[in-house]
Chains A and B, each alone.
Chain A
């Protein structure tokens, strides 16, 4: 039921930018794109979200294409601690409101 498609895994060298792609071709006009990450066996952690415009915070940048059918999460200077599974999520409408569906995510390996 996930409405997003992500590569299963990616590698990145420490200190380099990590660019994680996500396809969400069926996203509706008022739906936000969210990114979370899960380090080892911890609970997922929110990273960033966006609607139409590119967004940046202290953790990452989010680039959303003009047609909103895909986006890219950018970790500008990846560190070993950024090794995690990254989830790109859009909400789906369920009984009583919206709910969040997590797909399998992208496992990012940051290598020294």
Chain B
């Protein structure tokens, strides 16, 4: 069955370190998204991509970067981790941005702690 996976599921790192969170989907979806969710809050969009080599900034993109070299993967990199980036990170994918309807499928999340 097609799916979307994230790794690692849990990560503890230190301030200033570079961290990369992986997201992999097997639906062959064009669109992929990264969100962060802080305790008691909704999801905030970090970066998104509508296809290979396409990336766009979301609401809270400072300190994060993404690259899209193939359809299946959109890794999220924290260039220099800060304690404010402690959060749960969700990856999602959907078929087509141009379509009127595009249900998003979410991964299980990565819980990141920056000490």
Contact = CB atoms under 8 A, between A and B. Distances in A.
Interface of A: 1-2, 30, 32, 34, 36, 41-46, 49, 51, 85, 87, 94-105
Given A41-B109, A43-B107, A44-B90, A102 B101 contact: no
Contacts of A96: 50, 54, 56, 97
B59 interface: yes
A105 B50 contact: no
A43 B109 contact: yes
A71 to B, nearest CB: 15
A96 B55 CA distance: 9
Contacts, number: 65
Contact of A43 (B59, B90, B97): B90
A103 B45 contact: no
B62 to A, nearest CB: 15
Contact of B59 (A45, A87, A101, A104): A101
